[in-house]
């Protein structure tokens, strides 16, 4: 697997959770897997084995003397070390925006994957995740097409999010070591630029995405980000495999970050978790007697946060409290900061990335809100189910596939009114605690472990 994120090494969102946990689930099925990711500044090398140093990679006439380290977590995770490109704060950018050389950073990742495959770990399938790994199939089909090492090696490209095309100007093509003949509309050209994502979509042997509904949605012009025609042309090899979750990390019976443990047969600890969250977030004690709504999210347009702005007034006036954790686009950070400043007794916000608090919000909230504009899979609503925190979600992508009327509340139309109706239904249902508890327990019993989905991947690898 080639990925820009894998928990616990580097994480900005659900991609890291998936790549951090799927390989071990595959290993249990007898699939020998390994992962390659960059060694960012935040990834310590303690306990890592130096495997190759230097590992020279040539890209467009320039030699990059990388080094390769290995950390074992059930399966090997190979860390690609090249400080000039990866030793920075932030995975993809900083407060000034995306790093301007991301095309080089992830071309190097993709090209190195093939040298790792040549010298260190000989795969039969290379499973590439999102645009950052999109050039792997492009190198294999272009400059390396006649390299005997890779005869018979197949590629699977998984779309975790079609909204990030990985674009850069065509002028940089020579630096990437690709074949200029690949720069055309049936290749990796997208609206006059190079798109790493499109490269993956066009050149991989098979494609997948992280829920069945999203696999359908991305073939429509509404959700296709201009790539729906490419996806429709490849629909025969496009699969929808819903993400699994790692219940050894997300489980209220054993979660080390939460104030008290609880389970479907003994829910007492959940109230302690709510108390702890209310106190921690600085909300008044009365919040304990009201429904507590939680949000943990990247603050991006995808997540439907403008709908929260639309309902800000009734939300603040309602008989509920809101806690939110997230970071990202300035407009949304400001939205939540303003809400909390205007309504300090009912809204509390933390801007930033905080894994521990994310767990505490899952455990301490009554309701979890995900009004996404689009959602390839979504993991937080699945974690919420296990924590007995009822999801209120927009019926899109993986949210629609994983939440049912019996376990959560869904709305269709992308509007503040529709969101408010769904949330109001949940708030009303909360008043009947017996019915609410029954709903919590139905959700807690749902099993989204990797068992089923890892098998689907393994079948797909075999088919390839
Ligand atoms: P996406 O990958 O689109 O961000 P997912 O729901 O698939 O959405 O996964 C999000 C993951 O990132 C979850 O594990 C969630 O807890 C975590 N996460 C998102 N924002 C934060 C944050 N600010 N602090 C801690 N964890 C976060
Ligand atoms: C993406 C999607 C999210 C999905 C995650 C892991 O970031 O936005 O819906 O759960 O990838 O596949």
What are the start-end ranges of the H helices in 204-242?
212-217, 228-233
Q: Measure 15 CA to ligand 2 centroid, in angstroms.
A: 6
Torsion angles phi and psi, residue 93, rounded to 5: 180, -175
Give 313-347 as a DSSP string: HHHHHSS-EEEEEEEE-HHHHHHHHHHHHH-TTTE
Atom of ligand 1 nearest to the CA of 375: 3
Whether 13 is in the pocket of ligand 2, judged by its Cβ within 6 Å, is yes
Residue 189: beta bridge partners? Answer: 194
What burial class does residue 405 get, using C-beta atoms within 10 Å of its C-beta: 0-12 exposed, 13-18 middle, 19+ buried?
A: exposed
Do residues 373 and 360 touch, judged by C-beta distance below 8 A? no
Average pLDDT, the chain: 97
* pLDDT of 3 strictly over 90: yes
Please tell me the predicted confidence (pLDDT) of residue 34.
Answer: 98
Atom of ligand 2 nearest to the CA of 15: 6
Give SS3 for 247: coil
Whether 142 is in the pocket of ligand 2, judged by its Cβ within 6 Å, is no
Confidence band of 323 (pLDDT split at 50, 70, 90): very high
CA distance 16 to 194: 25
Strand order in the sheet with 206-209: 125-129, 154-159, 206-209, 238-240
Burial per residue of 58-79, b for 16 or more beta-carbon CB atoms within 10 angstroms, e otherwise: ebeeeebebbbbbbeeebbbbb
- Is the pTM here over 0.75, yes or no? yes
Please tell me the predicted confidence (pLDDT) of residue 96.
Answer: 87
Nearest CA to ligand 1 atom 16: 358
Please tell me the predicted confidence (pLDDT) of residue 220.
Answer: 98
Q: Measure 383 CA to ligand 2 centroid, in angstroms.
A: 13
Name the maximum alpha-carbon separation found in the chain. Answer: 69
Percentage, residues of the chain above pLDDT 90? 98
Whether 399 is in the pocket of ligand 2, judged by its Cβ within 6 Å, is no
Do residues 105 and 40 touch, judged by C-beta distance below 8 A? no
Residue 328: beta bridge partners? Answer: 299
Residue range 268-447, CATH number: 3.40.50.2000
Question: Distance between alpha carbon 57 and the CA centroid of its chain, in Å?
Answer: 29
Give the residue extent of every domain in the chain. 14-244+452-463, 268-447
Report which of 373, 384, 379 is spatially closest to residue 416, judged by C-alpha positions: 373
Please tell me the predicted confidence (pLDDT) of residue 313.
Answer: 87
Please tell me the predicted confidence (pLDDT) of residue 250.
Answer: 98
Give SS3 for 168: strand
Q: Measure 216 CA to ligand 1 centroid, in angstroms.
A: 24
* pLDDT of 95 strictly over 90: no
Please tell me the predicted confidence (pLDDT) of residue 317.
Answer: 87
pLDDT per residue as tens digits for the range 359-403: 999 999 999 999 999 999 999 999 999 999 999 999 999 999 999
Percentage, residues of the chain above pLDDT 70? 100
Report which of 99, 64, 100, 189 is spatially closest to residue 138, judged by C-alpha positions: 189
Q: Measure 219 CA to ligand 2 centroid, in angstroms.
A: 17
Q: Which of 214, 244, 378, 382 to mutate for ligand 2's pocket (most ligand atoms within 8 Å of CB)?
A: 378
CA distance 220 to 230: 11
Q: Measure 326 CA to ligand 1 centroid, in angstroms.
A: 8
Q: Which of 4, 129, 130, 210 to mutate for ligand 2's pocket (most ligand atoms within 8 Å of CB)?
A: 210
pLDDT per residue as tens digits for the range 263-296: 999 999 999 999 999 999 999 999 999 999 999 9
Report which of 16, 24, 8, 2 is spatially closest to residue 454, judged by C-alpha positions: 24
Whether 160 is in the pocket of ligand 2, judged by its Cβ within 6 Å, is yes
Please tell me the predicted confidence (pLDDT) of residue 140.
Answer: 98
Atom of ligand 1 nearest to the CA of 303: 3
Kindly identify the ligand whose nearest atom is closest to the C-alpha of 332.
1
| CB neighbour list of residue 461: distance below 8 Å, 6 or more residues apart | 31, 124, 125, 127, 156
Do residues 363 and 353 touch, judged by C-beta distance below 8 A? no
Kindly identify the ligand whose nearest atom is closest to the C-alpha of 7.
1
Please tell me the predicted confidence (pLDDT) of residue 372.
Answer: 98
Q: Measure 297 CA to ligand 2 centroid, in angstroms.
A: 11
CA distance 6 to 17: 6
Please tell me the predicted confidence (pLDDT) of residue 446.
Answer: 98
Q: Measure 398 CA to ligand 1 centroid, in angstroms.
A: 15
pLDDT per residue as tens digits for the range 19-75: 999 999 999 999 999 999 999 999 999 999 999 999 999 999 999 999 999 999 999
Please, what CATH class does the domain formed by 14-244+452-463 belong to? Answer: alpha beta
Give 385-449 as a DSSP string: HHTT-EEEEES-HHHHHH--TTTSEEE-SSSHHHHHHHHHHHHHHHTSHHHHHHHHHHHHT---B
In this structure, what DSSP letter does residue 242 have?
A: P
Q: Measure 60 CA to ligand 1 centroid, in angstroms.
A: 36
Q: Measure 318 CA to ligand 2 centroid, in angstroms.
A: 31
Confidence band of 316 (pLDDT split at 50, 70, 90): confident
Do residues 277 and 365 touch, judged by C-beta distance below 8 A? yes
Give 23-84 as a DSSP string: HHHHHHTT----EEEE--TT---TTPEEEEEEEEEEETTEEEEEEEEEEEESEEEEEEE-HH
Residue 292: beta bridge partners? Answer: 321
Q: Measure 262 CA to ligand 1 centroid, in angstroms.
A: 23
Mean pLDDT across the stretch 247-263?
98
Q: At 118, list the tokens.
A: 């040549």
Nearest CA to ligand 1 atom 26: 355
* pLDDT of 463 strictly over 90: yes
- Omega into 75 within 30° of 0, i.e. cis? no
| Residues framing ligand 1 (Cβ under 6 A) | 13-15, 17, 296-298, 325-327, 353-355, 358, 377-380
């Amino acid at each position: 697997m080639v990925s820009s994120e894998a928990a616990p090494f580097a994480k900005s969102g659900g991609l890291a959770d998936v790549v951090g946990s799927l390989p071990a689930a595959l290993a249990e099925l007898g699939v020998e897997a390994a992962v390659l990711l960059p060694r960012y500044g935040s990834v310590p090398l303690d306990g890592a084995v130096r495997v190759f140093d230097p590992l020279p990679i040539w890209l467009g006439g320039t030699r990059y003397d990388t080094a390769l380290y290995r950390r074992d977590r059930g399966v090997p995770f190979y860390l690609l070390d090249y400080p000039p490109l990866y030793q920075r704060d932030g995975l993809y950018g900083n407060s000034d925006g995306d790093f301007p050389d991301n095309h080089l950073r992830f071309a190097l990742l993709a090209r190195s994957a093939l040298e790792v495959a040549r010298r260190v770990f000989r795969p039969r399938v290379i499973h590439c995740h999102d645009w950052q790994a999109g050039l792997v199939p492009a190198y294999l089909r272009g400059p390396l097409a006649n390299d005997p090492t890779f005869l018979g090696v197949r590629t699977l490209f998984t779309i975790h999010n079609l909204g990030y095309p990985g674009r850069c100007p065509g002028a940089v093509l020579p630096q990437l070591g690709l074949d200029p003949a690949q720069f055309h509309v049936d290749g990796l050209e997208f609206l006059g630029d190079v798109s790493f994502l499109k490269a993956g979509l066009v050149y991989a042997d098979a494609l997948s995405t992280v829920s069945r509904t999203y696999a359908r949605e991305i073939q429509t012009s509404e959700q296709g980000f201009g790539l729906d025609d490419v996806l429709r042309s490849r629909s025969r090899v496009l699969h929808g495999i819903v993400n699994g979750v790692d219940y050894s990390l997300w489980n209220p019976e054993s979660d080390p970050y939460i104030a008290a443990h609880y389970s479907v047969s003994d829910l007492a600890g959940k109230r302690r978790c709510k108390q702890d969250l209310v106190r921690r977030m600085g909300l008044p004690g009365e919040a304990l007697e009201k429904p507590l709504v939680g949000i943990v999210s990247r603050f991006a347009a995808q997540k439907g946060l403008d709908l929260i702005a639309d309902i800000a007034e009734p939300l603040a006036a309602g008989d509920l409290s809101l806690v939110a954790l997230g970071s990202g686009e300035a407009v949304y950070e400001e939205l939540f900061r303003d809400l909390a400043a205007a309504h300090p007794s009912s809204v509390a916000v933390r801007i930033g990335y905080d894994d521990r608090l994310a767990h505490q919000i899952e455990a301490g909230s009554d309701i979890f809100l995900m009004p996404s504009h689009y959602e390839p899979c979504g993991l937080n609503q699945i974690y919420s189910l296990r924590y007995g925190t009822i999801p209120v979600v927009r019926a899109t992508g993986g949210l629609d596939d994983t939440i049912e009327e019996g376990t959560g509340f869904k709305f269709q139309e992308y509007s503040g009114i529709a969101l408010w109706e769904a949330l109001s239904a949940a708030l009303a249902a909360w008043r009947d605690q017996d019915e609410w508890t029954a709903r919590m327990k139905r959700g807690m019993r749902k099993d989204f472990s990797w068992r089923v989905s890892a098998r689907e991947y393994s079948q797909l690898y075999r088919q390839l």
